[in-house]
Amino acid sequence: MNQTFQSPIKTSIPARERLIFALDVPDLEHARRLVETLGDSVEFYKLGLEFFLSGYYFELASELRDNGKKIFADLKLFDIPATVASAVRQLARHKVDFCTVHGNDSMLRAAAEAKGDMQILAVTALTSLDQGDLDDLGFRCDARTLVLSRARRALELGCDGVVSSGLEVPALRASVDHALITVCPGIRPIFNDEVPAADDQQRVATPARAIETGADYLVVGRPIRDADDPRAAAEAIQQQIASALP
């Protein structure tokens, strides 16, 4: 019997929403300036721990929402299940689209049960970790095996997706239900044929490669934030994403 080929690329996601800009800045003024500069080149923003500590997290989240933007609360919740569930309920009140949880099965289950309309992403293995780091943390397997194991469990527990390196996406699409949302940080675009500068990310992928192999969303921070022209950098990445879509 012939099997119908299932493309790894979800066509239901608006192309320009696939780029998530990591708004990793320390203060509200800097954040607002970047949002204004980027304009319609970015439709989805990630708000992480650095900006959370600015004291203006939900003020900016409200402004973004009022301007039609989507919000990824990347707070990597990790605590006892009851506390995780309470935090997820609080976030859901702010109409956040995505929230990350970085914990064990009971934490992930608690988050999934409390999520409301928000979507829960399980963190698999941080893209800053290489095999030596995983060994130091006590994981007796490679990154691919760890990511696949955590992704399967996350989906079974009621989570909507995972955060993983683009390098692991082909294996995820080959062996985990396609309903799983894949959000990939560690994306390093190539501008003008230049090799991306080295930084603390270890397991990286280009935008086109990640999309072609099934990534749903790409998280990009420094290549946009630190560019001479952030808007032009964002638009260049949007073009690389669009070129990889069917």
Angle in degrees, CA 23, 61, 127, rounded to 5: 35
- Choosing from 69, 76, 95, 115, the catalytic residue is 76
d(CA 24, CA 35): 12
Tokens of 180: 């799983």
H/E run at residue 70: strand 70-77
Beta bridge partners of 99: 73, 120
Q: How many CA atoms lie within 13 A of 120 on its CB side?
A: 28
Angle subtended by helix axes 57-66 and 28-38, to nearest 10:
20
Tokens of 217: 């969303």
- Residue 76 catalytic? yes
- Which residue numbers are catalytic? 76
